[in-house]
Amino acid sequence: MASFSLLLGLCSLAEASPFVWADKAGGKDHPLVSRFQGSMIQNYGVMNFEHAEVPVSSTKKEPVEGKVFNYSYYAPKERSPLEVFRNYKLALEKSRFKIIVACEDAPVCQKQGFEEYASLWTGKTGAFAGGYNATSAMDNSGNYPPLYLVGRLSRPEGDVTAVLTVKAPSSSEVPKGAGAVYFLQVIESIPMQTGNVSVNAETLKTGLAAEGKIALYGIFFDTGKAEIKPQSTPQLDEMAKFLTQQKAVKVYIVGHTDSQGVLAANLTLSQKRAEAIVAALVKHHKIDPARLSAKGVASLAPVASNASDAGREKNRRVELIEQ
C-alpha cells in the first residue's frame, strides 16, 4: 500500500521557527504514516516484537502485538495540537484506516487517562534509539492534557495500528520553537517468529511424563503444504533423540492448524503433515514405524482463540502424545 503524507496545514520549517531543527540522526517517517508537514523527529525507535495494551476507552485496553515503531515529533511553531490531531485523523481516514478512538477534547482525554499510554511508552528504556531520553518523555501530570487518536488498517499480511498522542508544548519546549508536541506509535501486527528454540529430548520426556503430551512449534511448513522445511531439523533431531532413548515409548504425532480456510481441507493438510513427520523420523533417524502413529485434527483442538494472529500462531503446532 502506498504511503500518505499529511498535506494540510502546510508550513515551511523556516517560517515556523527561527531555530534550525534537524531530525535525529537516522530518523525517518514510517512508510504508511508520515509526519505533520514541517515537523521534526525529536526521537525514534523500533522494537522488532512487542506487546502493547492500547486504551480504546476509559475502562478498556486492547492488546496489540507486533513490530513497534515509536516517534517523538515537534510540530512547527504555532501549529496547535488540534490542527495536528485533525490532520492525522483526516489522513488516516483517507488511507482506509478505521478510527477506533478520536478524543479531541483535552480535559476529557485527560479524565479518561489517555495520556498515561504515551507516558508509559516514552518512559521505556527500549522505546527509542539509544535508550531512555528525558527530553522525549511525555508525562501524565495533567499540566498539558493531550488529544488522543487510534486508527487501524486491516491488511491480509497483518493489521497496522496507529496511536497518536498530541499535547501543547511545555515551557521548556516553547523556546525550542515547538508548536504541538506529539508521540506517534505504529504497530505492525505480525506473528512472532517461533521455533528459535527447539524442545529438547529431556523436556519431551518430562512433558510427556507430566501431562501425556507436549506441543512443539519448531517444525515448519509452507502455507497449505506438507513438505517439512529445512529449519525444522533441530526439532526433529530432538524428537529422534528422545525416542531413541525411550525405546518403549509409542506416540501419536498430531498435526494442528488454525481455523483459517475450509475444515475438510485443513483436516487433510494436518494429516499429511503428521505423516511427513513420521516419515522423516523413520527415514532419517531409523525410528521403528510401529512406535509412531500420525493423526491430523486441523483446528478441532485449539489452545487459544483463533480470532487473533497471536492465537492462531499458538494453534498452528505439532503435538507429541503418548499412546
C-alpha cell at 65: 502485538
Question: Which of 318 and 18 is assigned the larger pLDDT?
Answer: 318
Are 42 and 24 in contact by the 8 Å Cβ rule? The answer is yes
Burial class (CB within 10 angstroms; exposed 0-12, middle 13-18, buried 19+) of 193:
exposed
- Report the percent of the chain where pLDDT is more than 70: 92
- Report the percent of the chain where pLDDT is more than 90: 68
How many other CB atoms are found less than 10 A from the CB of residue 282? 16
Least confident of 16-30, 51-65, 198-212, 293-307: 16-30
Sign of CA pseudo-dihedral 214, 255, 307, 184? positive
CATH architecture of 201-322: 2-Layer Sandwich (3.30)
C-alpha cell at 88: 492525522
Q: Output the pLDDT for position 310.
A: 75
Measured CA to CA in angstroms, residue 15 lies from 19, 20, 178, 304 at distances of 10, 11, 12, 54
501530570: which residue's cell? Answer: 141
CA angle centred on 203, ends 200 and 205, rounded to 5°: 110
pLDDT band at 185 (very low <50, low <70, confident <90, very high): very high
Using only C-alpha atoms, what is the Rg of the chain? 25
pLDDT average, residue stretch 248-272? 95
Q: Output the pLDDT for position 263.
A: 95
Are 263 and 299 in contact by the 8 Å Cβ rule? The answer is yes
Q: Tens digits of per-residue pLDDT, 108-127?
A: 999 999 999 999 999 998 99
Average pLDDT of the chain is 89
pLDDT average, residue stretch 27-48? 95
Q: Output the pLDDT for position 1.
A: 44
pLDDT average, residue stretch 216-234? 90
Domain boundaries of the chain, sorted by first residue = 4-188, 201-322
Q: CA dihedral defined by 244, 247, 250, 253, rounded to 10 degrees?
A: 0
Residue by residue, DSSP assigns 72-102 as EEEPPTT--HHHHHHHHHHHHHHTTPEEEEE
pLDDT band at 196 (very low <50, low <70, confident <90, very high): low
Residue 19 confidence (pLDDT) above 80:
no
Residue 157 confidence (pLDDT) above 80:
no
Residue 152 confidence (pLDDT) above 60:
yes
